[in-house]
Homo-oligomer: A and B are copies of this chain.
Amino acid sequence: MKKIAVLTSGGDAPGMNAAIRAVVRKAAYHGIEVVGINHGYEGFINGSIEPLDLGSVGGIIQRGGTKLYSARCLKFKEDAVQEQGIAKMREANVEGLVVIGGDGSYRGAMALVKKGFPVVGVPGTIDNDVPGTEYTIGFDTALNTVVESIDKIRDTATSHENSFIVEVMGRDAGDIALWAGLAAGAETVLIPEEEYNLDEIIARLERGATRSKKHSIIIVAEGVMAGSELAKLIKDKAGIETRVSVLGHIQRGGSPTARDRVLASRFGAHAVELLMEGKSGRAVGIRNHQLIDYDMTEAFEKHHESDVGLYTLMKELSI
């Protein structure tokens, strides 16, 4: 393999730039050229590429977002369009592709794989919801952003003895909410993977109020319901006022944490190794603390599972 391409797809995640950098540097180490594809699959089908050398990835390891831009590309589902993209790549002598993104991006990647174009996937999404890997690039940074935000909210919650509902990202996966709940010492966490019990939530709020602790933090993953909706449910059933804070898009940005930069570097470099070994349709991941690769299909056919042990611990510690 003499020349490979790299693109980022789906929602951006802090650490994507570190992964791009690792792809370029690892490839350079082995004398392989790299081109960057802009705007995800959109750029793939248009052949919108630029050469990436050591200089192009200088000073990006600490930057949030993705220098290759990301975009959704609806028409990429069409066979003809995929073939057009592959043709463009072959024209440019690109022999393999690293796709950095979530499980949705893997689905697109597998279409290329089936058409004979070698692709390796790197899990990049703040939601930590790619089946088959314990962590994804961006999760650690997003988690710390959420925890730092809740630390701030707790300042004002304590000062005014208010209770707060904090809505965090996570449409199908509760990892951000659950980990943040543990790390920020929240009283209650609602995640998509577990049933919630409104009476229990209210009981907890009331228990706090009768003890010295008059403030309470409830974290709800957006996939369960909106924070404002939960506030209404609580108000209607128990007459308790809560304030709502929707953390929103700050969760996607920021300079990646050390952990995310290391993970991204390992994943990016491993993806290049896999392409060099002639592998395709594989996703890199971390399992049992070991760098692994596995069938990319697994990532979008299986379901992400939350860590039941953490959920139980959360409940016990928020006694």
Contacts and interface: CB of A to CB of B under 8 A. Distances in A.
Contact of A183 (B182, B247, B258, B287): B258
A291 B66 CA distance: 34
Copy total for this chain: 4
A275 interface: no
A103 interface: no
A155 B63 CA distance: 8
Interface string A5-18: 00010011010100
A317 B269 contact: yes
Nearest to A247: B250
Given A69-B160, A258-B180, A317 B250 contact: no
Contact of A309 (B61, B259, B291): B291
A265 B317 contact: yes
Given A145-B152, A185-B61, A55 B249 contact: no
A158 to B, nearest CB: 5
Interface stretch (A23-31, A108-116, A189-197, A231-239): A23-31
B317 A143 contact: no
Contact of A250 (B144, B153, B318): B153
A81 interface: no
B212 A69 contact: no
Contacts of A16: 159
A138 to B, nearest CB: 11
